[in-house]
Amino acid sequence: MHYTLHQLQIFLKISELQSITKASEALNLTQPAVSIQLKNFQDQFPIPLTEVVGRQLYVTDFGKEIAQAADKILNEVHAINYKTLAYRGQLSGRLKLSVVSTGKYVMPYFLSDFMKQNKGVELIIDVTNKSRVIESLEANEVDFALVSVLPKKLIIDKIALMQNKLFYVASKELNLPEKLSKKRLFEEVPLIYREQGSATRSAMETFIGKNKLSVNKKLELTSNEAVKQAVISGLGCSIMPLIGLRNELRNNDIEIIPVKGLPISSEWNLIWLKSKKLSPAALAYLEFLKREKEKIIAKKFYWTDKI
């Protein structure tokens, strides 16, 4: 057999995502390139690795075993690379994070300088909703998770990063009347929700429940970006994190509507399992955050205090 590490990496990603299209996106490769490598890899085995039923790709039982072996091989290769860097006195290893979707506006700024200073560290980030973030942390799949709502059932350590504020926002396309009462604002104007499991949705529903508001629910969307575009288009209003609205506010695509009881304030926290034995790379990152986080906030997020 003459399979390559590149082919192992591609097949492992296909087996994880159950999709050639998604694998190509995750690996920053074209779909034809991934398909060709999958075919070349398959040609080295007399038993099918995948099968297509309808339009869905499935990994066979034999393919799952090969994927497990591929994962072990690639981990050993990474270990060799890390040991080489460590022998040369460089910090090395993998840093794995799971980040709630709105956290993508926050986390990169707290990682950029650390990664520049430590070329031997490999960064893996999964951006998803709150439920999946907590699942991955509980399953010990990641070193750290970024959340704005702390999990109640896990024993964790944490480091607070910065404040998270949620405002009621609308497009100027809606031409909302001035001084519209809170009751009418929620009853008459379509409200756009995030999906179940989202921390933003949970905060919205808590606010609505505490204020005993009836809601004209219009849409439910699965990402902060999708909600933002729906608001800009005039489909409705929403309660959204300020951190993801800087450009839209600057360009007057979105405006903040004053509502009594808002903004909702919480805090971005980087959390990890208290029982987890952190790698040298993870420990170094925590030290970096403790030392640099206030400088990062002052440099990158000063504008949030002006709103």
Q: What is the pLDDT of residues 41-74, one digit of tens each?
A: 999 999 999 998 888 999 999 999 999 998 888 8
d(CA 226, CA 208): 22
CB 171 within 8 A of CB 257: no
Going from the N-terminus, what domains does the chain have, and what CATH number goes with each? 5-83 (1.10.10.10), 91-162+268-306 (3.40.190.10), 164-266 (3.40.190.290)
Give me the pLDDT at residue 90, please. 67
Per the omega criterion (within 30 degrees of 0), is the bond before 263 cis?
Answer: yes
d(CA 30, CA 254): 35
Burial string for 76-102 (b: 16+ CB within 10 Å, else e) reads eeeeeebeebeeeeebbbebbbbbbbb
Give me the pLDDT at residue 289, please. 96
Supply the DSSP string of 38-95, one letter for each residue: HHHHHTT-SS-SEEEETTEEEE-HHHHHHHHHHHHHHHHHHHHHHHHHHHTT--EEEE
Which residues in the chain land under pLDDT 70?
Answer: 79, 81-90
What pTM value is reported for the model? 0.71
d(CA 103, CA 132): 14
Give me the pLDDT at residue 294, please. 96
Give me the pLDDT at residue 183, please. 87
Give me the pLDDT at residue 109, please. 96
Give me the pLDDT at residue 84, please. 67
Give me the pLDDT at residue 300, please. 94
